[in-house]
Each structure stands twice: as C-alpha cells, then as structure tokens.
Amino acid sequence: MPAKHSLWEGRVSTAAMISQLIKADLFGTHGPQISYAALSAEAVRVALWALSAHMQSLPLSQAPVSTRRLLDQARAFWYPFTLACVESNKDLLLEPDIDRELLDTLEIQGDVLSFTGGSWLPAPQRLVPLTVNHYMLVGGIPTHLLPASIQQVLHFHGTFRQVAGKAISIFQEDMRPSVSWQFQSLDSWLGPSPSTLDDLVRSFEVHELHNVVYQSDSSLEAYVAESADPQYLRWHPLNSVDDGRYLLRTSTSWGMKQFSIGAIHNHRLTRQSGELHDTDVRRLCYALDQRAGQPTRASWNVSRRELLLRSELPVRERKFLSSVGTLQENDDGYYPRRWIIRPQFVGSVEEMLTNLGIQIMQM
C-alpha cells in the first residue's frame, strides 16, 4: 500500500500548533472562531476546575483555590498563545490580561465563587434566560466537559457562553451523572432589585450628616448634577461649587475612591456623612441628575445598532449590557464607550436606559 504524503511548506510554529490543538480540544468546531476574551475566560475555568477537582472530598473550607495559584495555572495554560502571537508578530495588546480583574468579571457573571481570604471555587452550572429565545450558560464547568450535543449549540459572546432557547431541550435530554441543570431567573442573576431613582433622592436628602471641625482632605470633589456634561466631568473641587448638599468623593493614597454626602458652605465642608459602603454610587448619580433636570445622553445609531455612552452605567445595567452587547475598541480614548447591540435585545437596552433617565439621541 503506497504511503500517503504531502508537500513540505516550511517551518511549523510549535506554539501555533499547540495553541490550535488546545482550541480544538476545548471548543471543538468553535475553535477557529473563538475570541481572546472567550479563550481567557475558559483558561480560568479549566485551571480552577483542574485545581479544585481533586479536593472535592475535602470540607468546603479547605477546598477553595488561592488567587495566586489559580492565576499561575491559568497563565501557564495561556503561555502557548502568547508564544504564537510573538512568532506571528501579532500585537500582544490584543490579548486580555489573565489577572484578578478577570476573576472579578467571571464572578460577576456567575462562573466562579470567591471566598474570604482571596480564594475561589467553580460556581454551579445553571441556565439564565435573557429572553424566551436566548439563554446564558452560567457556571464553572469547562466547555470541553459538557456533552458534545451541548457544545455544538453554544455561542461564545465575549466571556459569556450562550445558547438559543430552542436548544434548551438538548440540556434536558442529555443528562449525565456529572452534569445537572438548574434554572436561575434573569432578575436573580442580575442581583438584588435596586431602589428607584426617587427613593435614592429621598434617602440622599435625609441622610444623617455630622459636623466637621477640621477639613484636611484637599482631594475632596463634589458631584454637580446641574451640569450638562457627562458624569465624569460633573465632579468639581469644593472651591468651585455653590452652597448645598452634595455627593462627595475622595481618593485614598492607594487610589481607591471613597464616597460620602456632605454640606458645603462658603466652599468649605461643614457637615459630612460616613462612607457610603452599600450605595451604588453610579445609580445615585443618575438619581441626582433626574432631580436636577439634567439627564445624561446616549447616542443611538439604529441602522448600525451602535450605542455610544459617555457615562458609566450602574452595576446591574452594566452587567446586562455586557451580556447582550459587544464593547468595541476605541482609538480615541476611554470615552465614548461604543457598544454593538445584538438586534433581539435593542428594545430591552432602550428600556433599561430610559429607566435610568438617560436621554437617547438618534444618530
């Protein structure tokens, strides 16, 4: 029997070959189209699953994996992709960072669980309906461990894994001892229902303030809702604001923002609340904008389904937007934030913006 042969076409990149094999093993037929964001998220899922699987017989208090150990393992998994980029002269800036921020992102979207002291475990898998026809697959189980029939119907959207509603029956039919499916409502996944803007304003106006004897923090800024600027430009030093009650912010020596409520008189802070630990400050800003009659604006290109935001959204709305839209690269700086919204979610996004009092400008 004659031997099969092929023509030699030059040096084969070991890193490129390994990275292609990894993609194929983890994503099957999805491999060639998989994005860096999806791949980085999967690197964490695989690393965490591998590190925690052998500890499943231990008490929960002993099973979580430390942040350093998890990141080291995920970065080791990512290394062939870095080498492949170097060998092909691709821009490494296109790669996402395998860092603590990525772990926080995966925790927010429900794929991993964090514990006191900086440790992690995979979250239970469940299906979350975005609409009747679109679901998210949430949880820490790596994609390659899912039944093949389920892998085939997955859609990778950034760090999210999603599936069409018509394919949900596959999840219910393809049951295995190692995989059990639960459903979580969208409201539950997004988190606790927030206070209304009106309730936030009322709470802001009656929040207890204490006399300030000595003002030593020169970094204090006040949020001036009466400004027509985007929210990030509505923060002003105390010597440029009128008398009144304001939302205040300052920065610690290590860069963390701290927020409080204060009374300003003659450009000096006279009374101040404690730190606002449990307040969604972004949502409070929208409430103060509404009270002042100065809504922020969003630009909406209907034909391109492109949404331009010049102010950040509160946590709950940002979480929903990231699950139904794609944030675009922006060469001109951080703002505006350019999102491409999938057509089936346009109505939901418009309603979300309207509920925050955002004025939508058609382009």
59 and 145 inside one domain = yes
Residue 291 domain-assigned (yes or no): no
60 and 141 inside one domain = yes
Chain centroid to CA 187: 16
Residue 59 domain-assigned (yes or no): yes
What does the DSSP assignment read for 139-188? SSS-GGGS-HHHHTTEEEETTEEEEEGGGHHHHHHS-BTTB---B--HHH
Residue ending a domain, among 190, 223, 254, is: 190
In whole angstroms, what is the distance from residue 113 CA to residue 103 CA?
A: 9
Q: In what order do the strands lie in the sheet with 154-157?
A: 126-131, 134-138, 160-164, 154-157
Q: What is the largest CA-CA distance in the chain?
A: 96
pLDDT, position 255: 67
Residue ending a domain, among 172, 190, 208, is: 190
If we measure between CA atoms, which residue out of 209, 317, 323 comes closest to residue 269? 209
If we measure between CA atoms, which residue out of 135, 133, 147 comes closest to residue 110? 135
Task: Count how many residues are written for the chain.
Answer: 363
pLDDT, position 8: 46
Q: How many CB atoms lie within 10 A of CB 45?
A: 25
182 and 205 inside one domain = no
132 and 180 inside one domain = yes
In whole angstroms, what is the distance from residue 310 CA to residue 63 CA?
A: 42
42 and 157 inside one domain = yes
Residue 254 domain-assigned (yes or no): yes
Q: Whole-prediction pTM value?
A: 0.79
Residue 323 domain-assigned (yes or no): yes
| Structure tokens given for 121 | 């475990």
Residue 287 domain-assigned (yes or no): no
Q: What is the pLDDT along the chain (363 residues), one digit of tens a residue?
A: 455 555 545 444 555 555 565 666 666 666 567 788 888 899 999 999 989 876 566 655 567 899 999 999 998 887 776 665 555 555 544 455 788 889 999 999 999 999 888 899 999 989 999 988 899 999 999 998 888 888 889 999 989 999 988 888 877 665 555 556 789 999 999 998 899 999 999 999 999 999 997 766 678 999 999 999 999 999 999 999 999 999 999 987 666 789 999 999 999 999 999 999 989 999 999 999 999 999 999 999 988 999 999 999 998 999 999 999 998 877 778 899 999 999 989 999 999 999 999 999 998
Residue ending a domain, among 254, 282, 310, is: 282
In whole angstroms, what is the distance from residue 269 CA to residue 250 CA?
A: 13
226 and 338 inside one domain = no
| Count of CA atoms in the C-beta half-sphere (13 A) of 269 | 27
Q: Are 316 and 356 in contact (CB under 8 A)?
A: no
Residue 292 domain-assigned (yes or no): no
157 and 224 inside one domain = no
84 and 132 inside one domain = yes
In whole angstroms, what is the distance from residue 208 CA to residue 259 CA?
A: 14
The domain total for the chain is 3
77 and 174 inside one domain = yes
Residue 352 domain-assigned (yes or no): yes
In whole angstroms, what is the distance from residue 260 CA to residue 273 CA?
A: 6
98 and 81 inside one domain = yes
Residue 226 domain-assigned (yes or no): yes
If we measure between CA atoms, which residue out of 108, 94, 102, 92 comes closest to residue 42? 102
232 and 323 inside one domain = no
In whole angstroms, what is the distance from residue 357 CA to residue 345 CA?
A: 19
92 and 226 inside one domain = no
Structural domain range at position 217: 197-282
pLDDT, position 322: 93
User: What is each CA distance from 242 to 206, 218, 236, in whole angstroms?
Assistant: 19, 17, 11
User: Hey, what amino acid is at 8?
Assistant: W
pLDDT, position 92: 47
In whole angstroms, what is the distance from residue 249 CA to residue 281 CA?
A: 10
